Structures are given as C-alpha cells and as structure tokens.
A and B are shown apart, each in its own frame.
Chain A
Amino acid sequence: MDTPLIVLIVLTSVAVTSPLYGIIFGKKSLKYVQYLTTLSLLISLVLLISSTLSLTPQESTVPHLLRNDSLGSFFSLMVILVTLFVTITSFDYMKDNSNENIYYSLLLFTAIGMTMLSFAVDLLVIFVAWELMSLPTFILAGYNKRDKLSNEAAVKFFILGALSSGILLYGISLMFGITGSTNLDIISQSLPTVSADMLPFIIFSTISMLAGLGLKLSIVPFHMWIPDAYEGSPTTISALLSAATKKAGFAAAIRIFAVIFPIFSFDLALALSIVALVTMTVGNLAALTQKSITRMLAYSSIAQAGYLLIGLVVLPYSDLGLLGLLYHSFNHAILQASAFLAAALVRLKTSSSSLDSYNGLSKVMPITSFCLALSLLGLAGIPPLNGFWSKLVLFAAAVDGGYTWLALAGLVNSAISVAYYLLVIKRMYMDETSLKSIKEPFLFISILVFASVVIIVTGLLPNILYNISEDITLSFLSNNPV
C-alpha cells in the first residue's frame, strides 16, 4: 500500500476544502472543520502506525520522489501525532479568534509538508516539502495579528526562514552540478566516482545544506530566531515548531547525510560533533537564565537538538547512533509537545507565560502542573521516564562510536539542564500563589493526560519503542549502507 500518497491525499483534501466551508456554511462551519481536521489526522495516524510496523520498504507510486519505508513512516507518525495534539488543544486555545477555519487548514498544510519531508528521497522534493512545511508556519506564528510579539516572531521567522531556504537550495544546486542528479540514490552512486577536485564543492554544498537545515533543526549558530519565535507565536504553534517541524527536518537530515557520510565521514562527523557540543551547551546555559517558560523551553529545545545531533555524528560508526536518534526523536516530540501544550494552557488561563505565574500552580491547576512536571522531568532525563532511556542510548552510542568526550559533554549538559527544569517544578509545587482555583478544560487536559500516559508507559516499558527503532535502523542501514 502506498501510505505516503494516501496520507497526503487524505490530508490535502481536508486542508484545501476547509476554508471554503466558512464561505458556504458561515459560522457553524467551524465545528465541521475541527472534526474533519481531527478525523483526517486520525486516519493518517492509523495508516502510519501500520506502515511503521511493517519493515520492508513498500511499493511507492513515485519511487524516485518518495520512498515508502519505515523510517519515513516513523517520522511522519511523530509529526502527525503532534499535529493531532496541537489541533485538539487549539479548540480551546484559539477559541474566538478570527478566521479559525484557516488556522486548521494551515495546520494541515504544515502536516502535509512534514509528511512529505519524512518520505522524500529527492533533493528537489525535499526542498518543496521544506517550503510547504515552512510557509504555513510563518503565518501561524503571526496569527495573533494585534499582538506585537506575535508579529515580531513572524517577521523574524519569515526572514530567517526564507534565508535558510535559499541557502538550502544553493546547496542542492551545487550537489546537482556535481553529480548531475537530485535523486539521493543516484547521488550516492555517483558521489564516490567524482574527481577529487570536486571535493571542495562537495564540502561547500554539504555546509550549505547543513546551514539550511540547521535553521529548522535549531542548531547553533542558526538558533537566533527560535526563542523569539516560540515566545511570540501562539504557544500551540510553538509546540508544533519544536516537536514536529524539527523532527521532520531531522528525517531529511538523516537521508541527506546518510548519502554524504561515506565520502568524508571523519571530517563531517568531527564537524558535526563540535556543532552538537556547542548546540547543547549554548542551549542549556541560555535556558538557565530565562524568565519566561516559552523562552526556557525554546532554549531547552535547542539543547535537545544537540543531543539528537550525537546520533547523526556517530551514524557511520555505530548502529546505536541512528537508533538513539530515532528513539530520542519520538520521546522528545512527546515530551516537548506536552510541555509546550501545558504552557499553552497556563498562558490561556493566566494570560502570562512568565515563570512567576507558575508559583504555586500545583494548587490551582493540579493536573496541568503534574503533566508539566512529568514532561520536564522526562526532558531532564530523570529515570524511569522515557527521556532517560533514549538519552542513555544516545550517550552509549557516542561511547560506542569513539566519541567518549561527547558522551561526557552530553551527561554534564544533562546535569546543567536539570537545574532549570527543576526550578519550574520547585515554583509549581513549593511556592505560594495568590490565584484562585482554575477550571481546566476537559479536552485540553485529556490530551495532556494522554501524553503523560505515553511518557510513563514508554518509560516503564522502554522495550517497545526501542525495538521499533532498532528494526527501523537495521532496515534503513541495510538499504543505505553508511
């Protein structure tokens, strides 16, 4: 079954038509749009789960453009799940905003872009998917058009996003010039045969692509826009940016680097390892000093990208690298989505995302506080939550791949990160509040609780996800020897 195409069609059919319902049915249409969006995402989710579990690459109608393999399914499963969370929580969060129909339509367009990006094996398709994913998020980031911060976020995001697309496209065009193709399979065959004079161009093209992708992967030094964009956007959109678009970017990065690695693995791995080190250190140190939860989570998200990069660094040296990358991507997506959505709920109810508004929150919003605390502990890698196991695999992969210093750096960074995660928990559970009891909306809370259940269950029974990631890794590596 050609899952990617079916998913794309299902999502597109809803995404394209839902703005029309507003014209046809007027105000009433919002409910239909919400249901339709949720339904289409649920259908996609079911399809993707089944295709993730079937490991052999399946037929694809457009084999040179989209590869229907379990790696792609796994990543698009993540992003669709996060989009689903964001959609359902937006029912409450975006209530009484203008043009709500379009909001859901744009969410779906982002999901389409991300899904396409997870499966894409042609550089041009990667670029198209990249744009399809980015353009709606620029609009979504600036959705509160009367809010100055939201506008600033959108403008900053758009300018840097456009720049990154340009750089990415430049890298792609160089690669096309070197190898004569944009298809990753053909590139991987012809790259080893190009003459040695071309090496500087390959390096330059790689750096350009890394810089282009890096902006979405939130790696230092391409991270400047992240805190502002996450703070200014509606917080549900921050969840989408941090937990979903970043993961789709990683899917593309894996496919591209798996092709380039065999050419000059040592230099590339070394360069990436330094980037990883800087990324996690900058992210964690900056997060320590933040006064607003969204900014703190933004920097934490940057730091987590540093951990994920470890997986990319040791890709050629240890199977555990890709395994850890996949495993941590999933866990991080759930944890980060849960943390951001909890922050969204607090912002909705207290209209503030300053850390001060979290003082004594456990007394007025007990369930939200618990879910937020749990996801923060998970992000910090406190066992037995899921974040611990995947970080463990990543650090072990670093040791296995000969990068013991990187594992040490990662561990020290985890220790630093505990400080700021814990500070929020301290505020929620140990400080005093003047707030009166707050009603927690049912649908929103059930999403948070569902995420918490996933965090706990995959933490207590880590084997499930580990095995899936391992199978995907082995099947991917057997088709793409690095």
Chain B
Amino acid sequence: MMVDASFPLISVLIALPILAGLAIPLLFKNSQKYIIHYAVIVALIELAITFYSYGLILTNGSGGEYNFVEGPVTILGNFGIDYLVGMDGLSGPLVLITSILTLLVLFGSRDLIEDRKVLYYSMIFIFEGSIMGVFTQLNMILFYVFWDVVLIPMFLFIGIWGGPRKRYAAMKFFLFTFVGSIFMLLAFILIYFNVTPHSFNIPEVAGKIPLSLQVISSVLFFIGFGVKLPVVPFHTWLPDAHVEAPAPISVFLAGLLLKMGGYGFLRFNIGLLPEASAQYAWIFILVGIITMFYGAIVAIVQTDIKKMIALTSVNHMGFVMVGAFTGTVFGISGSIFQMFAHAAAVGIMFMLSGYLHEATGTRNITVIKGLKFTSPRLATLLILGSMAAMCIPIFSSFISEYMVILGAIQVNPIYALIVAVPAITVGYFLWMLRRVVMSDLKPGTKKWDLSNISTIALVLYLVPLVLTLIAPWLILDVANPISTFYAALVSGGAA
C-alpha cells in the first residue's frame, strides 16, 4: 500500500534546510556564537521528519512504489516540467543517510571549520536540501536542476575552505561533473520527444522508451552518472577534490555526492532503460569491476591517508555499479545497502583523517607513528573505522558487499573474481594501521586526543552500521520491493 502523509512531507524535507540555510546570513550577521546550535536544531528536525517518513515506508512495506507523492504542479507551461516528488525504496535509504550525515558533519565542522562560518553553514543546508531534491524528484528536468544546484555549494566548500590546491580542485570538480550532467540533460530531452504523450515525468515515461533510444540514452547516462559515481575513466576529479576538501566536506563528497551517481544508475539506467541495461549489462559490470580493482590497487601505494580513503570510495562505488547491473534482487538491494553503509563507513574515515591532521600536522601514512601511544581514542576509532571500510562482519558494510557478490555470481560465476577486491582492501588498510597505529613512538611526539564530544560524534557514525548488521531488515525491507520490481524489469528486458 502506498503511503500518503497529510502534509507535504517531501517538500518540507527539501524546503526546510534550504530556507534555514538562506536565513543564516540574516540571523547570524553579527554574532556567530550560536550558529552551531541553530544548525544542529535544524538538522535534528530534518532528521526527525526523515525518520518519520522512513518509518512509515518501512512499516507499510511500500518501498516498491512512490510514497508521499506531491504534484504534478506545473513549473514551465505545457513543456512537461512539473514539480513531482515521491519517495520509494531506492530514495528512502538515501534520504535517511543524508539527514544522518548532515547532523554528523555539523558535529565535525564544529571542531574543524573556523572562518566564514555564516557562508559555510548556510551552504551546508542548501547542499542538504538540494540533495534531498535529487533523491526525491520524479521529474527529469527538476532532477537535473537539483543535480546542478548541488554543485555550487560543493564548489564553494572545496574552493574556500580547502587545502593548498583548493582552487584547482574546485574548478576541476565543477567542470567534470557539469560536463557529465550536460549529456544527461540531452538524454532527458531526447526521451521527452520520443515518448507519447511527451513527458519528463519518470512514472509516465517508464516502459515507453524505444530500444534504440534506450541504447543512446544509456551511453549518455553512463557519462553523466559515471562522472559522479565515479567510474574509472571519469574518476580523476575525485582524489583531487577529496585531498583538498576539508574533512567534513569530504564526508559529504563521499557520503552523499557519489551516491547521486549510484542513484542515477539505478533510477534511470535500470528503471527507465531496463532493456538496454539487460543487453549491455556486461559492459557496465566490466567497467564496475575495473573501477573496483583500480580503486583498490591504486589505494595500496598512497601515502596520503585521505587519498587512500578516497580511492577506497572509488573501489566501493564499483560494487554499487556491479550490483545495480546484475539485475538481480540481491545485486540491486545490495547496491542500495552498499550506498547506505559506505556513506557511514567512509564518513568516519574521512573525519578521522581530518582529526589525524589536527593531531599530527600531517596525513602522511609513512610519517605518523605510534598513534596508539599519543592518541588512544583516535587510534581505537581509526581501527574501528578501518574495519567498517574493510567490510569486516561486525559492520553492515559486510552484508552489502556480500549481497552484491552473491548477485554477481548468480548472473555469471566468473564474476566471483570480485571477491578478491575486499581482500586487497583489507590488505592495504591493515598495512596502514600497522604503520600508523601499531608502530613505535618517535621520541618527543606531543600527545593530542579527541575531546569527549568529538568522540561521541564519531562513534555515532558506527551506530547505523552496527544497527543494520543486527537488523538488516531496517534497510532491506524498504529496498527489497523496489529491487524485486527492477529485477523483474531487467529480466523482462533480457528475455
């Protein structure tokens, strides 16, 4: 049964952060003392609404269809641009992790961001609202609008609060992702004119797109979403952006921005172009596998811990890609789950890299020594975070990767070779831990450790991971209906 709320739930999810963000310059022009309190309260309200809506979908088991649908409200004449939003089993977990991560990022920013706070916090909320828009829009053009609006806060985040090469990284980030999105827009326009009646609304065009156009569109989408995910030929912006971005922003980058790519592949390539995706699945899976191996192997040789984590993201996103294009229930659910788990697992690692830089003044793995002596809390969390990123079975990231591998093997046993990827990941993480945490102390190193509040904030990243390991149904009951639906579409397309 589809759920409907008595009030415009999704519009509130989108508008509340954006309006709250726009209000910041007015409210905190003179004194920024309470800005963080204000931000946390807004984020908490947003989180509460998200929990409420997610809970409704979960208890009703209505992940297979669009819930809380609003619209269509005409935005642009008879040109098919309507405001139409809805939340299904694919959007649900992503909306949830967006709210959670925003709150956690605020805690992290409290320690690490010092200057131009007004602009910073205002941008955080504009970013959150636009991401919500991306995950819930059912009109392709408005999806594109939110997709591009997301770029502007991120451009400023990297360019203003970033490291030494921030300007280069910000420009590169913007240009790569914008160029990718252009191709996506062309695909939307082509789809619009090739379905009758002309429409940009996803529910209305689903199942009407002719095969030839599906093939063209899937190439265009591949460029658009592939840049964001990122997949290997288009990934070069990511290490630069991550290395230069401040730690909390890296959390956003890896935790939410990359998910836009994964969401796009599932929503558009699988949902709208199932036949093309079924026929050419092997190409996408191959690209996914290359991405995984590339990410994992290049991560081994990194000396900057942040770059290593960034490449781990690339490697994990390969799983999302492979899972999606297996076209099996396991694979698709696994890739939705992977997006959720990866956001939290890599989020904590990026935050830790930021604190590591605070503690030791460097992020160089070969330089930092004996962390267990100087910063016991940081060291413990680093080990736990690494375990989450390694997909050790005390965190739910294990389940998601396992599901993707299972789905891939169902399609073709050769794909079993991707089991090697987690093995490589474990290898380089353990090597990093041995060098950074388990090594002997250099004499004269100062002690520095996390404050109580920061420790709690960091532990909070691990809570969803443990929780969804114990109760994976929290995600899967929402994701499975839509995966079943998509899997049926794809297997129908293959037949």
Contacts and interface: CB of A to CB of B under 8 A. Distances in A.
Contact of A384 (B77, B78, B149): B149
Contacts, number: 80
A399 B187 CA distance: 11
B193 A399 contact: yes
B174 A418 contact: yes
Interface stretch (B90-98, B152-160, B315-323): B152-160
A463 interface: yes
A422 B192 CA distance: 30
B459 interface: no
A313 interface: no
Contact of A463 (B75, B189, B193): B75
Nearest to A414: B182
A426 B159 contact: yes
Contacts of B179: 415, 418
Contact of B171 (A377, A396, A426, A470): A426
Contacts of A411: 182-183, 185-186
Nearest to B160: A430
Given A383-B149, A396-B192, A429 B160 contact: yes
Interface stretch (B42-50, B140-148, B261-269, B399-407): B140-148
Contact of A430 (B76, B145, B151, B167): B167
Nearest to B78: A470
B160 A399 contact: no
A350 interface: no
B175 A419 contact: yes
B157 to A, nearest CB: 11
Which one of B149, B185, B192 has the highest number of Cβ atoms from chain A below 10 Å of its Cβ?
B185
Interface string B226-239: 00000000000000
A463 B174 contact: no
Contact of A404 (B144, B155, B166, B190): B190
Contacts of A463: 74-77
B145 A384 contact: yes
Contacts of A470: 77-78
B178 interface: yes
A431 B166 CA distance: 10
Interface in A106-153: none
A388 B151 CA distance: 15
Interface string B181-204: 011011001101100000000000
Query: Interface of chain B, helix or strand or loop or mixed?
Result: helix
A466 B148 contact: no
Interface in A389-439: 389, 392-393, 395-396, 399-400, 404, 407-408, 411-412, 414-415, 418-419, 422-423, 426, 429-431
A462 B148 contact: no
A466 B167 CA distance: 37
B28 interface: no
Interface residues of B, number: 34
B52 interface: no
Interface in A184-233: none
Interface in B97-152: 141, 144-145, 148-149, 151-152
A361 to B, nearest CB: 14
B352 interface: no
Given A382-B152, A404-B190, A414-B182, A466 B175 contact: no
B256 interface: no
Contacts of A13: none
A17 interface: no
A2 to B, nearest CB: 30
Given A430-B160, A466-B79, A399 B145 contact: no
Interface in B191-221: 192-193
A430 B77 contact: no
A403 B142 CA distance: 24
A467 interface: yes
Contact of A422 (B77, B81, B148, B175): B175
A482 to B, nearest CB: 20
A393 B79 contact: yes
B189 A383 contact: no
A412 B148 contact: no
B170 interface: yes
A266 B386 CA distance: 64
B156 A412 contact: no
- Residue from B152, B179, B183 having most chain A Cβ neighbours under 10 A: B179
A466 B76 contact: yes
B174 to A, nearest CB: 6
A186 B75 CA distance: 41
Give the most central of B144, B159, B182, B190: most A CB within 10 Å: B182
Nearest to B151: A382
Interface in A364-394: 377, 382-384, 388-389, 392-393
Nearest to A377: B152
A216 to B, nearest CB: 30
A383 B148 contact: yes
A388 B170 contact: no
A414 B181 CA distance: 11
Contact of B167 (A384, A404, A426): A426
Contacts of A383: 144-145, 148-149
Contacts of B166: 430
Given A388-B145, A426-B167, A429-B159, A396 B178 contact: no
Pairs A-B, 9 closest by C-beta atoms: A383-B145, A415-B179, A430-B159, A411-B182, A466-B77, A415-B182, A462-B76, A383-B148, A399-B189
Given A429-B156, A430-B170, A462-B75, 9 more contacts: A383-B144, A383-B149, A392-B141, A411-B183, A411-B185, A415-B175, A415-B179, A418-B174, A466-B79
Interface of A: 377, 382-384, 388-389, 392-393, 395-396, 399-400, 404, 407-408, 411-412, 414-415, 418-419, 422-423, 426, 429-431, 462-463, 466-467, 470
7 contacts: A393-B79, A400-B193, A418-B179, A430-B159, A462-B81, A466-B79, A467-B77
